[in-house]
Copies of this chain bind each other. A is one copy, B any other.
């Protein structure tokens, strides 16, 4: 394509509100433009990348035997009421009314629609297993849209839904999807990790994995082992744990100590000269409307998703300070002693020999507190986040932490939706059974940002060949030089005839402008037709290796072909 009339409005500077490097580069390189917060237009270059990513996803999904279809974005609210998610989903679900005042949601995901479809159309075990997918625009009214395509309100996803007669079938398709995802993210050129994850609002009963693109801007923390292949989202990650037998016999009775102004662990630790990992925090939560207390080591943080799982509640959140006070606790000095609410103790806190806890009295703590004797504990469980000092739960070697962008997620849903929406089938004996479901998402548009995060540096970007908008950026230095024009046109024709996608910068601009634009736009190969055109020589640059060679036209053809089709 000739660059002369192409709509690729590069920018010298990114708009001030673009924080992430990928966001800046996609704007500056002329890939996207914002229409509203979290709502973007994909300009011709961005759209080319998006289509290439979609095609790779489609090829790998089709290869597994999944069937592509397209469901509507407008979903009747009744479906969401039937599944019970209409209220759970909250303000992130975009709602609207039609001219007859019927309520609709703009689909952020399609479990309800697909489950209803399969419920209505598939009745026999003979049509199962079935795996259905679509590549579609999704809507989510994010509280804080940001980082360009990373957290948008209108975005593109691939979502797949599998239906099986039993869990073994689900295990099989889950593994196929896991493998397909690994191939997809490899082919699009991402540096990624598959990690164990928490199901979040999608729910479900079985295991699930996230595919994380490694990037500092990522909103997720990935915990992985430095030795074995254990990897999990921090939300889900365990740390290695060794129980220390308690020796509480003969321990003295607990004692009230004066701790003026020590309402935080840091203050208390300093005042008493006791390290935070020897102190016990009492955290107050509201779980499905009821107060619950969590005991955790001073240097640890509560993992609310783990806590939610342990408590078995739908809705859990830290109590507001008024709620803490209303429940009879003194904020900053809350005590677990003498409580008759649910008390969850993190298992690490049980390894602390003698506890120092709040006295439930301003400026006072208790020491020599013994769990069991002084504190009634409902349950001991792992309810904390792993930390960088922890060891692997599998092999005991040190854990490491990275930041990641979630680009894919595979879930074993089980019967959560098939039960709620009545998706059953008749088995070989003619008995009605509930379908076993899985669901599998890929953030198609988000991949653009994730790749850009990984492959850009300041004002320079290099796309992987597999998804680059064009393979070659052909630059003619002097628009009016006849020898250059002839050689460039010849290469443009020859490369295209060989199936190479070429963007030909035929503009009447200064060389500096052309090179700066080419750096921003990021085609993986640059071929420059300049002063040596008269001798039939051009410059070839493999941008990823930052390698420059002078070639003849024949050599450059061979080199490009070798690079693009290895």
Interface residues of A (CB under 8 A from B): 4-7, 9, 33, 35-36, 39-44, 46-47, 50, 65, 67-76, 91-92, 94-96, 98-99, 102, 104, 106, 113, 117-118, 120-122, 126-130, 132, 137, 139, 141, 143, 153-154
In the assembled complex, the CB of A120 is this many whole angstroms from the nearest CB of chain B, namely 8
Contact: B130 with A5, CB < 8 Å?
A: yes
Contacts of A69 in B (CB 8 A): 7, 41-44, 46-47
Pairs across A and B, CB under 8 Å, 27 listed: A5-B67, A5-B130, A7-B67, A7-B69, A7-B130, A7-B132, A33-B117, A35-B72, A35-B75, A36-B74, A39-B74, A40-B72, A41-B69, A41-B71, A42-B70, A44-B68, A44-B132, A47-B69, A50-B70, A73-B73, A74-B154, A92-B99, A95-B96, A96-B96, A98-B153, A99-B141, A137-B137
In the assembled complex, the CB of A71 is this many whole angstroms from the nearest CB of chain B, namely 5
**Majority SS at the chain A contact face:** mixed
| Count of identical protomers in the assembly | 2
Contacts of A68 in B (CB 8 A): 44, 47
Contacts of A98 in B (CB 8 A): 94, 141, 153
In the assembled complex, the CB of A204 is this many whole angstroms from the nearest CB of chain B, namely 22
In the assembled complex, the CB of A201 is this many whole angstroms from the nearest CB of chain B, namely 16
Contacts of A102 in B (CB 8 A): 36
Which residue on chain B has the smallest CB distance to residue A114? B41
Contact of A41 among B6, B9, B36, B117 (CB under 8 A): B117
Contact: B72 with A154, CB < 8 Å?
A: yes
Contacts of A126 in B (CB 8 A): 4
Contact: A6 with B137, CB < 8 Å?
A: no
CA distance A44 to B50 in the complex (A): 22
CA distance A4 to B91 in the complex (A): 42
Contacts of A33 in B (CB 8 A): 117, 120-121
Which of A4, A72, A129 has the most C-beta atoms of chain B within 10 angstroms of its own C-beta? A72
CA distance A141 to B70 in the complex (A): 20
Contacts of A154 in B (CB 8 A): 72-74
Contact: B71 with A104, CB < 8 Å?
A: no
In the assembled complex, the CB of A15 is this many whole angstroms from the nearest CB of chain B, namely 11
Contact of A36 among B35, B47, B104, B130 (CB under 8 A): B104
CA distance A26 to B560 in the complex (A): 47
CA distance A43 to B67 in the complex (A): 9
In the assembled complex, the CB of A189 is this many whole angstroms from the nearest CB of chain B, namely 22
Which of A6, A43, A70 has the most C-beta atoms of chain B within 10 angstroms of its own C-beta? A70
CA distance A500 to B128 in the complex (A): 26
Contact: A41 with B67, CB < 8 Å?
A: no
CA distance A154 to B106 in the complex (A): 11
CA distance A72 to B46 in the complex (A): 13
CA distance A74 to B106 in the complex (A): 11
Contact: B73 with A127, CB < 8 Å?
A: no
CA distance A29 to B102 in the complex (A): 29
Contacts of A76 in B (CB 8 A): 35-36
